[in-house]
Amino acid sequence: MNAIEELGLVRIDDRLIHGQVIAVWCKHQRFTRIVVVDDGVAADSFMQEVLSLAAPPDLQVDVLSIEEGINSLGESAPDRGTTMVLLKSPLAAKRLYDGGLKYSALNVGGIGSGPGRKHIFKNISASEEEIAILRYLMDKGVEITLLTVPGERSKAFSDLAGKS
Amino acid sequence: MGVSLVLMVVSFVVVKAAPVAQEEPVRMNFLMAAIVGIMYYLALSPWFANLGFAVLYRPLVAGTLVGLVMGRLGEGIAIGANINVLYLGWISAGGSLPGDPGLAGYLGTALALGGGLSVDAALALAAPLGLLGSLTWWLRMSLCSIIPHWADKFAEEGDIKAVARSNYIYSQPFLFVIYAVPVALAAWLGSAAIGAALGWIAQHAIWIMSGLFAASGMLAALGIALNLKFLLRGNVWPYFFIGFLITSMMGGGVNLLVMAIIGACVAFIHVLFTEGVAGTQLAGAAEARESPGLLTRQDVFQSWLRWLFFSHACYNWERMQGLGFAHSMTPIIEKLYKTKEDISAALKRHLVFFNTQPDIGGVIHGAVIAMEEERAAGADISDDAINSVKTGLMGPMAGIGDTIQQGIVIPIALAIGMSIATGGAVGTATTGNILGPLFFLVVVAAFVWGVGWLLWWQGYLQGRTAVTNILKGGMLNRVIVGAGVLGNFIMGALVVQFVSLSTPLAFMIGGTTFQLQAVLDSFMPNLLPLLLVLLLWWLLAKKNASPTTIMVVVILVGVLGSYPLWPGINAETGEAIKVGLFG
């Protein structure tokens, strides 16, 4: 039996493509493709242009809606091992997972503070609802790690969820 | 007759003298220690128009300033350059800070001078200190998360001045206490302790001194390998070896500025051949939007000044530069909105989470100022529209900005500055040239101020399309590809100039003495430094080894490996003696 190639990284980061992603992650691990999966950005041609112009030339950037993501990032997608999937929120991660795009690990890299969100770790905030979603994914067996960039201090979501 | 430009190439021969056991220490008094602590705070403070973090925080500059205060300017510069090698490729992105070059620079130089450690061994002392910086960074980012909540209340009342004060005044006592006080105390109390330890070593175990020297030389290899992890890839890796071989052939004594110019020419040719001829569309060529004319250039400039100084004054986990953004908008809000409700709404609009690279990201502020102006003139622009420009663009601009500022401008300007400062011999120079840190200061200031204002103003003139206009035409990609070539070329040269590693091992075979170093040199000069750099690069890039672990191992190998256990020859008398592996 052929093992399915895991996605290189599935990351929740509401700033999508930025310094940590380009200047650190992409130097630490080899990526050939960044796929932003977000309904809002998928409908915004200006932001799509900005995101593709912002990435270095050797990285392919695609912007997909959640539905497109579920359909085209599956087991038969090319170069899964060097693909980084960027999502804006835990909700997007759940919709992908429930839609059939399974992943075994999820990186929570950055969620800005906002109304209803409380600070949980470093530059990561989350609302009660979002924490519940992460817990749901954890119970499904997804290994969730809070980590801004490789080499930094990280925290397993299971440690955090155990306490609250 | 044309103008003839004479480039002075400083040539010299690196003489491997036995490391000096102990320098005459500077007596560290409380005043000196206090100034060192305050300088470390200042490097992380907002008072230098964004040059604190970009310039004062770098060990080359830190060493210079500490040397000045302690009356050992030349030594301070050399120590700073020595320490800085480890942090050449140091990048802090999105508020994450691995290691602390400023702490290593200020405290490391102070302790080396105050304890009487020889210049070329300072890095081995400073490197572990740099690790402690993560603690204060954590504290800072957490403590400053409180202040935006005060600002929220002031915004509710429409008190513009108080929001501004929260950013740049209320945050500073926190920072002063967590930065200046511990460093001042450590410099004051630590100097004597280091001095005593070195005194004991000089009496009882002089080999440790050689060990610290060897460890410093190897840590320089780690600094270069950390850069190569980013650079040595794709189809530009041969430039690393070209840079190395040219410098090595010339005996190391090449002016790095000259090497950088050669590298830039090579990079230009590489980009021309791989990417084709540059497009004709240039940044700023796009037409300006219709401005309603409520703001003057002076208003926009005032706003930029506040950002230039105070973008990171109250940097914190919760909203990052959110308060800094609101502060930068205060002159605009003051001019555009007159009722308390409008002012309060505008302040609250801009107090939300924001984080980007401060120079390149200024284009966003420019665009937001344009939107605020049009909104005040009656255009239908919602809070959501303004927010989506901010949140949509802050990430991509940070990605580009960090790549260019922290990934290209600062490391290359630093490398050249360090080479000028030490005459091309960071590992072995015992005194430094002030022109090195000055060169670095001028280049970075030109970038931070020049590019910063240019983008801010274009953002205002063109609105958000400034971003795509600037990025179109492929100019950015050309710069990044070219910088990869130049970076590899320079790193190759630095292996020769910055990594000092040799061995005194010698063998007697059939009555003939073979000095290992001479044998290695007959193969290829600087072979050991090159192999060490490549080994560390391989561990970092291919084995995902942690830089901290490598640092600890390197220090241990350098020090313990210098224990005189191996056969060698006394160069003067020719008799057999015991030597360490390195020397």
For the segment B505-518, what is each residue's pLDDT rounded down to a tens digit? Answer: 877 777 777 788 88
* Of residues B232 and B437, more confidently modeled: B437
Residue of B319, B396, B467 lying closest to A18 (CB–CB): B396
Quickly state the pLDDT bin for A25 (edges 50, 70, 90): confident
Distance (Å, whole) CA B528 – CA B16? 15
The answer to whether the beta carbons of residues B83 and B418 sit under 8 Å apart is no
- Residue indicated by tokens 């420019």: B366
Q: What would the pLDDT profile of B6-39 be if each residue is shown by its tens digit?
A: 222 222 222 233 444 456 788 899 999 999 999 9
Quickly state the pLDDT bin for B568 (edges 50, 70, 90): confident
The SS3 call for residue B568 is strand
* pLDDT for the residue B287: 65
Q: Which residues of A touch chain B, with CB atoms under 8 Å apart?
A: 13-24, 27-28, 41, 44, 46-47, 49-51, 53-58, 110, 112-114, 119, 122-123, 125, 148-149, 151-153
Percent of chain B having pLDDT more than 90? 55
Q: Give A-chain residues touching B134 at CB under 8 angstroms.
A: 153
For B545, list phi and psi in degrees, rounded to 5: -70, 150
CB contact under 8 A, A15 and B91: no
The predicted complex's ipTM stands at 0.71
Instruction: Evaluate if residue B1 carries a pLDDT over 60.
Output: no
* pLDDT for the residue B76: 96
Q: What would the pLDDT profile of B387-414 be if each residue is shown by its tens digit?
A: 889 988 998 898 888 888 988 899 999 9
Quickly state the pLDDT bin for A12 (edges 50, 70, 90): very high
Q: Across chain B, what does the average pLDDT equal?
A: 87
Range from A62-71, A112-121, B337-346, B562-571 carrying the lowest mean pLDDT:
B562-571
Distance (Å, whole) CA B123 – CA B104? 8
The token pair that represents B399 in the structure block: 């990605």
Instruction: Evaluate if residue B567 carries a pLDDT over 80.
Output: no
Q: What would the pLDDT profile of B191-224 be if each residue is shown by its tens digit?
A: 989 888 988 888 888 888 888 888 988 999 999 9
C-alpha Rg value of chain B to the nearest Å: 26
Select from B90, B91, B96, B470 the residue whose CB has the most chain A CBs within 10 Å, as the one to mutate to test that interface.
B96
B397 touches chain A (CB under 8 A): yes
* Residue range B293-316: mean pLDDT, rounded: 96
The token pair that represents B525 in the structure block: 């000069």
- Residue indicated by tokens 């912002």: A54
Quickly state the pLDDT bin for B284 (edges 50, 70, 90): very low
Distance (Å, whole) CA B333 – CA B345? 10
* pLDDT for the residue B512: 75
Instruction: Evaluate if residue B309 carries a pLDDT over 50.
Output: yes
Q: Give B-chain residues touching A55 at CB under 8 angstroms.
A: 399
Quickly state the pLDDT bin for B113 (edges 50, 70, 90): very high
The answer to whether the beta carbons of residues A36 and A86 sit under 8 Å apart is yes
Q: For chain A, list the domains and their CATH numbers.
A: 9-163 (3.40.35.10)
* pLDDT for the residue B503: 85
Q: What would the pLDDT profile of B51-99 be if each residue is shown by its tens digit?
A: 999 999 999 999 999 999 999 999 999 999 999 998 987 877 655 556 8
* pLDDT for the residue A2: 52
